[in-house]
Amino acid sequence: MIYDHLIAPFVEFAFMRRALVGALALALGAGPIGVFLMLRRMSLVGDAMAHAILPGAAIGFLLSGLSLFAMTAGGLIAGFVIALGAGFVARATELKEDASLAAFFLISLAVGVTIVSLKGNNVDLLHFLFGTVLALDDPTLLLIAGITTISLIALAIIYRPLVLECVDPLFLRSVSRAGAPVHIAFLALVVMNLVGGFHALGTLLAVGIMMLPAVIARFWARDITAMILVAALSGAISGYVGLLLSYHTGAPSGPAIILVAGVLYVCSVLFGPVGGLVRQMFPGRHLEA
Amino acid sequence: MLTRRFALASVLLISAHLSPALAQDKLNVVATFSILADLVKNVGGDRVEVKSLVGPNGDAHVYQPTPNDAKTLSDARLVFVNGLGFEGWMARLVKASGTKAAMVTATKGVKPRKMEEGGHTEADPHAWQSVVNAKTYVGNIYDALVAADPAGKNTYQANASAYIARLEALDVQVRAVVGAIPADRRKIITTHDAFGYFGAAYGVAFIAPQGVSTESEVSARDVAKIITQIRTQKIPAVFLENVTDERLLKRIAEESGARIGGTLYSDALTDEKGPAPTYIDMMRHNVKQLAEALTS
């Protein structure tokens, strides 16, 4: 009975296994990235970047159809251009980075939509916004897994300066010149993971698998390592439960995955041991000497 | 005084010169999508200038009208729509454009098929997929054109009867090709069930992984059902369609062992270079693809 509900769908159908592998790989890569975004108070940057890659992917689509390479390249280029452009404007002018990012992603979105409608062929935007986690083929899975691998290795390399920049950027600036390159490398990782997530979940939901697990993790752990573990784990749980939900109830798969993460988030806000509402109302006994 | 009278006279004179020119001008009409536009062109011939709102390869289900479309509508004398709920966006567009053009529903008199869609039944709009219904379309188009431009009645009549003869030949051809396929192999899977009328008219079962409209998103349950169905009913072929996500179909075909057929055209014609630039070409192309995938 339990086997039938929880495991049989994945044994019986290869597309469910592929969707699960894709979702797990995404959770593993995007979760940690999300934690750093959250700690650096850049939670909404992920959202902005996700919108920024849409037109790039759409242009790739118009040029060569549903080609994995064209859409990936388009998304990456658009994402990098927006990230670097916004960063440059922020450094060179009075404008703060969030404001210039907002300007850039809105322009990019408008350009993308204009190009799509000028071409006259109305692309089914739903597929771009919500993705097709059920249709992952070998190249797409390899791409997502590759992005995750690169992200984890790169995070391991830049871990130290990145944590310092989250906690005390002024101190980092005083002892090292690594700040700027680390920042750029990190933004590159954000863009890559969003593009990977775009293939499975579309631009709207890719940012969900990145940020929701990170926000959940904030309620369960105090130190960064533990947060990263909780984020990756809760992302993986969301993927697994979301797919099962879609399989049993007929809910669309991408939104189902993010909805499960949303439910986990609400539970965490209520019952999380670190600053959860219930915990605040009934604090444990003070430790007294 | 003299100059004013002169001016008035010259204006009258010019307009008197212009009006026969205007009468010779083509009748401006609009069709909502490319297949309907093709049918109108065949009846209207040289007397009619047809514009299609949704162009070749466009998906009329999820079309977003542009301000340009509103302008096109307000310039038109006649607006041809498919009806049966096909163009959900049309009512708003007509209201926005403030057009005085007469609306012609091409499916008037067609017996609509009912479709299960998300628990409630609604009419299936893809009536043109049966050639018999296409003849009804042509009749409605003919009536509307004659009412709007009585002077062209003879031309329209000649065009319409010539075209109906071609449609009848097409109908015979489609029946012959389908008849050559073994009866137990006449079932396929395709992305969206635009082929209900085709299936009913010619005896081919079309099973779709999505509902009647491309507006709804598929769930894991739908895909699992389809794969199970292909395996248990031994469905020989899966077809891709030009307007919805082909990656999902490839996945289903790979997993179920069904063969992937060529592209079928359902809601839109292709451009001149494609295999289905006209309605008749589209039907011939579709039935040829079906035969190739199902007979082997």
Number of Cβ pairs closer than 8 Å across A and B? 90
How confident is the model at residue A76, as a pLDDT?
92
Residue B79 phi, psi dihedral angles, 5° rounding: -125, 120
For chain B, list residues with pLDDT below 70: 1-24, 116-120, 191-193, 208-218, 240-246, 296
Q: Where residue A176 falls among pLDDT bands split at 50, 70, 90?
A: confident
Contact criterion met (CB < 8 Å) for A250 and B250: no
How confident is the model at residue A122, as a pLDDT?
47
**Which of B221, B230, B255 best probes binding to A when mutated, by most A CB atoms within 10 angstroms?**
B221
A189: tokens are 């990782």
B58 neighbourhood in chain A, CB within 8 Å = 120-122
B262 neighbors B283 (Cβ within 8 angstroms):
no
Residue B78 phi, psi dihedral angles, 5° rounding: -130, 145
A215 neighbors A265 (Cβ within 8 angstroms):
yes
- Cα of B160 to nearest chain A Cα, Å: 31
Q: Which residue has the tokens 């012959």?
A: B176
B81 neighbors B103 (Cβ within 8 angstroms):
yes
- Condensed to tens digits (0 to 9), the pLDDT of residues A229-245 reads 999 999 999 999 999 99
Tell me if chain A has a CB within 8 Å of the CB of B225: no
- DSSP for A113-152? HHHHHHH-----HHHHHH--GGG--HHHHHHHHHHHHHHH
Could you tell me which residues come within 8 angstroms of residue B132 by beta carbon, excluding any fewer than 6 positions away?
B171, B201
- Condensed to tens digits (0 to 9), the pLDDT of residues B138-193 reads 999 999 999 999 999 999 999 999 999 999 999 999 999 999 988 888 888 776 66
How confident is the model at residue B268, as a pLDDT?
87
Window 156-175 of A: residues touching B by CB (8 A cutoff) are none
From residue A193, how far is each of A133, A153, A289 by CA, in Å? 15, 13, 48
- Cα of B48 to nearest chain A Cα, Å: 23
Could you tell me which of B193, B229, B224 has the C-alpha nearest to residue B208?
A: B193
Residue with the larger pLDDT of the pair A58 and A154? A154
Cα B99 to the chain's mean position, in Å?
22
Residue with the larger pLDDT of the pair A134 and A193? A193
- Cα of A9 to nearest chain B Cα, Å: 8
Contact criterion met (CB < 8 Å) for B62 and A122: yes
How confident is the model at residue B191, as a pLDDT?
64
Q: Which residue has the tokens 């990019």?
A: A108
How confident is the model at residue A33, as a pLDDT?
95
B244 neighbourhood in chain A, CB within 8 Å = 124
ipTM for the predicted complex: 0.77
A8 neighbourhood in chain B, CB within 8 Å = none
B127 neighbors B110 (Cβ within 8 angstroms):
yes
How confident is the model at residue A102, as a pLDDT?
83
Tell me if chain A has a CB within 8 Å of the CB of B62: yes
Residue with the larger pLDDT of the pair A127 and B230? B230
Residue with the larger pLDDT of the pair A149 and A2? A149
How confident is the model at residue B7, as a pLDDT?
62
Quick one: what percent of chain A has pLDDT higher than 70?
92
Map residue B290 onto helix, strand or coil.
Answer: helix
How confident is the model at residue B143, as a pLDDT?
94
A4: tokens are 């039938």
Cα–Cα distance between A62 and B185 in angstroms, integer?
36
In SS3 terms, A23-35 reads as HHHHHHHHHHHHH
Tell me if chain A has a CB within 8 Å of the CB of B65: no
Window 213-232 of A: residues touching B by CB (8 A cutoff) are none
How confident is the model at residue B296, as a pLDDT?
65
Could you tell me which of A136, A161, A163 has the C-alpha nearest to residue A32?
A: A163
**Which of B231, B247, B250, B270 best probes binding to A when mutated, by most A CB atoms within 10 angstroms?**
B247
pTM score over 0.80:
no
Q: Which of A19, A127, A249 sits opposite B245 (nearest CB)?
A: A127
Cα–Cα distance between B294 and B237 in angstroms, integer?
7
How confident is the model at residue A116, as a pLDDT?
63
Contact criterion met (CB < 8 Å) for A134 and B218: yes
Quick one: what percent of chain A has pLDDT higher than 90?
40
B252 neighbourhood in chain A, CB within 8 Å = 15
Could you tell me which of B186, B172, B203 has the C-alpha nearest to residue B283?
A: B172
Most confident listed range (A245-259, A275-289, B34-48): B34-48
